[in-house]
C-alpha cells in the first residue's frame, strides 16, 4: 500500500526534503500518488478518512510557493467588487456525481452573484458543456481551467487567481487526492474559505485545514468528523429541488408486480464486498416476478454477468432495464412507476436517496458491514427498512404489502420536506436560516469489523491482486487521456 515507503513517516521525510530542495512539483506528485494508492485499496475504504500530516505537507508546499509568487500579483489584493463573488475550487466537473449537483445548488441559491469555478483537472478533463448549457444560462457563471503544466505550475495559477479574484467566499470541492487545491489557500491570504467534505468514505486531503470552515452534508459525516476526528465543523444538509411528490392516483404494484430501482455507477457497485449487486439482482427478479430498473453506467462485464444469470434462471432479459444516464433521477422514478428504491451497495449515494424520498418512493437500504457513512441509514426516514443478509432483502421484496409501501412512501416524502428541500440550503447560504446540528444518529449500528477482516483475508488471492493492479492502471490511463 505504501509503495516503496516503509512507513508514512518515511514518505513525510522524503516530501519535506523535496520542499527544502525547492522541488515542489515532485513533492505534490508524491502526496497525490500516495493518496491515490490508499483510495484504490478496498481495505482502506471507510477506515482511513484523513491525515493531519498530509494536510500539513500540502500547506507547507503552498506557503513556499506563495512566497515566490505573491510579489508578481498585479494590482491590489484587496477586494474592490461592488457585487458578490464566489469561487468553487474543483478537481473535475462531471455530469453525473453528487458534488457537481451540490455546486449547482450553491450557485442557484445566489443567482444575483458572480460565480467562478476554478478547475485543477488533476483527474482528467471536465464535462463543462453540461454546466454551461444549463445552469450558466440562468446565472453568472465563469469556468476557468488550469493551464496544462506540472503540479507546481497549476498551483501557481490557482493561488494567483484566488488573490486576484478576492471572492466573498471560496469553496473547496476537491477530489480526495487533489493536493493542489489543499495547498492553495494559505492563512496569510486572509481569504474566507470553506471545505465541503464530499469525499467522505475515503482518505481525503483537506479535512484538517483549520483556517477553513469545515462543512459536512449529512449526520453520519458530521458526527464522525466532530466526535472521532475532532473537527470543528458545521452541518449544511444535502438538498434537492422539489420535482413533485408521488401522484395520488398512482397505485403501488399497479401492474400486479413490484418494480424496483437502483441508481449507481460502477464505482459504487462493482466493488469487492461480501455480497454482490450483480448476484442479487437476478435473485430479486426471481422472487418478485417484477421489473428492476438500473440507472448508472456499469462495465460490460457487470452487464454480462447480470444477463447471464437472468438467462440461467429463465428470466426474460427485458425485466432488467439498464439506463446508463438520465437527466433527472427523480423524474425517472415517476416515469418508470418505481415501487421500491433499493439503494446501491456496497456504497450508497446520499443525493439519490434524498431524491427517492422526495419522489415519495419507499426505500430499502443496505446496512454496510462496518461503515455508517456507506450505509446512509441515518439520512433516511425513521423506521426505514434495511438489510444485512441479502435473504432479508429478498424476503421483504417478495412479501411487502401495498399498505406497507404506501406508508413508507408517505414517511419518505415527509423526511424530504422536513430536512432536504432546496429552500433550506438557500436560507442557510443567505443567512436567513440558522445553522444547526443534524439529527442524532441511530443507536443500533454496530460495525462488524471482525467479519469484514475475515472475508477480506479470503480475497487476497493472486487473481485479486492482479485485478487491482489492472484497475489502477486503467484509472490512471483514463485520467491522463480523458
Encode pLDDT of 80-121 as tens digits.
Answer: 678 899 999 999 887 666 778 889 899 989 989 999 999 998
Smallest CA-to-CA distance from 200 within 409, 361, 39 is with 39
Q: What is the pLDDT of residue 76?
A: 47
Residue 383 DSSP one-character state: T
Q: What is the pLDDT of residue 348?
A: 92
- For residues 273 and 271, give the distance between their C-alpha atoms in angstroms, rounded to a whole number: 6
Omega within 30 of 0 (cis) for the link into 65? no
Per-residue b or e along 75-110, where b marks 16 or more CB atoms closer than 10 Å to that residue's CB: eeeeeeeeeebbbbbbbbbbebbbbbbbbbbbbbbb
| Nine cell digits for residue 73 | 500579483
Residue 66 DSSP one-character state: H
The verdict on 28 and 177 lying in the same domain is: yes
Pairing mode of beta strands 213-216, 233-235: parallel
* Residue 375 three-state SS: helix
Residue 149 lies in a domain: yes
Q: In sequence order, what DSSP letters do the residues of 391-447 get, joined into one string?
A: HHHHHHHHH--HHHHHHHHHHHHHHHHHH-BHHHHHHHHTTSS---PPPPPPS----
The verdict on 298 and 223 lying in the same domain is: no
Smallest CA-to-CA distance from 141 within 168, 112, 120 is with 112
- Rg over alpha carbons for the chain, rounded to the nearest Å, is 23
- For residues 3 and 33, give the distance between their C-alpha atoms in angstroms, rounded to a whole number: 10
The verdict on 270 and 338 lying in the same domain is: yes
| Nine cell digits for residue 404 | 406497507
- In order of 305, 360, 380, the CA distances from 414 in angstroms are 38, 8, 10
| CATH, residue 311 | 3.40.50.2000
The verdict on 88 and 220 lying in the same domain is: yes
Q: What is the pLDDT of residue 464?
A: 58
Residue 395's domain spans which residues?
259-420
The verdict on 25 and 170 lying in the same domain is: yes
The verdict on 138 and 280 lying in the same domain is: no
Hey, how many other C-beta atoms are within 10 angstroms of the C-beta on 287? 15
Contact 174, 199 (CB under 8 A): yes
Residue 62 lies in a domain: yes
| CATH, residue 134 | 3.40.50.11380
Residue 197 lies in a domain: yes
Contact 96, 296 (CB under 8 A): yes
Residue 2 lies in a domain: no
Q: Which of the residues in the chain have pLDDT under 50? A: 1-3, 75-76, 462-463
Contact 159, 62 (CB under 8 A): yes
Q: In sequence order, what DSSP letters do the residues of 116-139 get, joined into one string?
A: EEEE--TTS---HHHHHTTGGGTS
| Nine cell digits for residue 421 | 428541500
Q: In sequence order, what DSSP letters do the residues of 256-285 get, joined into one string?
A: SS-EEEEE--HHHHSS--SS-HHHHHHHHH
Contact 191, 225 (CB under 8 A): no
Contact 66, 189 (CB under 8 A): yes
- In order of 76, 112, 162, 190, the CA distances from 79 in angstroms are 8, 18, 11, 11
Residue 274 lies in a domain: yes
Residue 267 lies in a domain: yes
Q: What is the pLDDT of residue 347?
A: 92
Residue 247 lies in a domain: no
- For residues 37 and 16, give the distance between their C-alpha atoms in angstroms, rounded to a whole number: 20
Total tally of structural domains belonging to the chain: 3
Residue 71 lies in a domain: yes
| Nine cell digits for residue 334 | 415517476
The verdict on 200 and 161 lying in the same domain is: yes
The verdict on 406 and 461 lying in the same domain is: no
Q: What share of the chain is helix, strand, coil (3-state, %, to 5)?
A: 50, 10, 40
The verdict on 114 and 204 lying in the same domain is: yes
Name the residue with cell 495547498.
Answer: 183
- For residues 433 and 437, give the distance between their C-alpha atoms in angstroms, rounded to a whole number: 13
Q: Which helix (H) or strand (E) holds 311?
A: helix 300-312
The verdict on 232 and 324 lying in the same domain is: no
Q: What is the pLDDT of residues 270-296, one digit of tens each?
A: 988 889 999 999 999 999 999 999 999
| Nine cell digits for residue 395 | 424476503
The verdict on 97 and 112 lying in the same domain is: yes
Smallest CA-to-CA distance from 264 within 372, 366, 120, 127 is with 366
The verdict on 289 and 357 lying in the same domain is: yes
Smallest CA-to-CA distance from 361 within 259, 265, 448 is with 259
Smallest CA-to-CA distance from 267 within 135, 98, 128 is with 98
Amino acid at each position: 500500500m505504501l509503495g516503496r515507503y516503509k512507513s508514512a513517516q518515511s514518505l513525510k521525510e522524503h516530501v519535506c526534503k523535496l520542499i527544502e530542495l525547492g522541488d515542489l512539483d515532485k513533492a505534490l506528485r508524491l502526496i497525490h500518488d500516495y493518496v491515490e494508492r490508499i483510495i484504490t485499496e478496498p481495505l482502506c475504504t471507510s477506515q482511513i478518512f484523513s491525515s493531519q500530516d498530509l494536510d500539513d505537507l500540502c500547506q507547507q508546499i503552498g506557503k513556499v510557493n506563495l512566497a515566490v509568487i505573491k510579489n508578481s500579483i498585479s494590482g491590489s489584493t484587496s477586494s474592490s467588487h461592488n457585487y458578490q463573488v464566489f469561487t468553487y475550487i474543483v478537481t473535475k466537473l462531471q455530469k453525473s456525481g453528487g458534488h457537481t449537483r451540490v455546486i449547482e445548488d450553491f450557485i442557484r441559491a445566489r443567482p444575483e452573484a458572480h460565480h467562478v469555478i476554478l478547475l485543477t483537472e488533476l483527474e482528467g478533463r471536465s464535462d463543462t458543456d453540461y454546466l454551461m448549457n444549463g445552469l450558466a444560462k440562468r446565472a453568472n457563471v465563469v469556468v476557468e481551467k488550469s493551464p496544462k503544466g506540472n503540479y507546481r505550475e497549476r498551483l501557481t495559477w490557482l493561488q494567483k487567481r484566488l488573490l486576484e479574484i478576492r471572492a466573498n467566499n471560496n469553496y473547496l470541492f476537491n477530489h480526495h487526492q487533489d493536493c493542489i487545491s489543499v495547498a492553495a489557500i494559505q492563512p496569510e491570504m486572509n481569504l474566507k474559505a470553506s471545505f465541503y467534505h464530499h469525499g467522505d468514505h475515503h482518505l481525503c486531503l483537506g479535512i484538517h485545514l483549520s483556517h477553513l470552515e469545515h462543512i459536512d452534508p449529512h449526520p453520519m459525516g458530521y458526527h464522525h468528523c466532530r466526535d472521532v476526528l475532532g473537527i470543528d465543523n458545521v452541518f449544511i444538509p444535502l438538498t434537492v429541488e422539489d420535482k413533485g411528490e408521488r401522484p395520488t392516483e398512482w397505485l403501488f404494484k399497479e401492474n400486479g408486480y413490484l418494480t424496483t430501482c437502483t441508481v449507481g455507477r460502477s464505482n459504487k457497485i462493482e466493488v469487492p464486498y461480501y455480497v454482490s449487486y450483480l448476484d442479487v439482482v437476478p435473485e430479486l427478479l426471481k422472487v418478485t416476478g417484477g421489473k428492476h430498473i438500473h440507472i448508472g453506467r456499469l462495465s460490460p462485464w457487470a452487464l454480462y454477468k447480470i444477463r447471464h444469470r437472468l438467462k440461467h434462471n429463465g428470466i426474460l432479459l427485458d425485466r432488467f432495464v439498464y439506463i446508463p444516464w438520465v437527466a433527472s433521477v427523480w423524474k425517472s422514478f415517476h416515469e418508470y412507476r418505481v415501487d421500491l428504491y433499493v439503494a446501491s451497495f456496497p456504497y450508497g449515494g446520499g443525493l439519490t436517496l434524498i431524491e427517492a424520498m422526495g419522489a415519495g418512493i419507499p426505500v430499502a437500504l443496505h446496512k454496510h458491514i462496518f461503515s455508517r457513512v456507506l450505509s446512509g441509514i441515518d439520512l433516511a426516514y425513521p423506521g426505514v427498512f434495511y438489510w444485512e443478509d441479502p435473504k432479508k432483502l429478498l424476503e421483504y421484496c417478495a412479501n411487502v404489502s401495498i399498505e406497507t409501501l404506501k406508508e413508507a412512501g408517505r414517511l419518505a416524502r415527509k423526511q424530504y420536506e422536513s430536512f432536504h428541500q432546496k429552500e433550506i440550503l438557500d436560507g442557510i447560504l443567505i443567512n436567513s436560516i440558522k445553522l444547526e446540528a443534524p439529527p442524532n444518529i441511530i443507536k443500533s449500528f454496530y460495525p462488524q469489523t471482525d467479519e469484514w477482516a475475515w472475508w477480506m483475508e479470503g480475497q487476497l488471492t493472486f487473481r485479486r491482486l492482479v485485478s487491482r493492479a489492472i484497475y489502477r492502471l486503467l484509472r490512471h490511463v483514463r485520467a491522463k487521456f480523458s
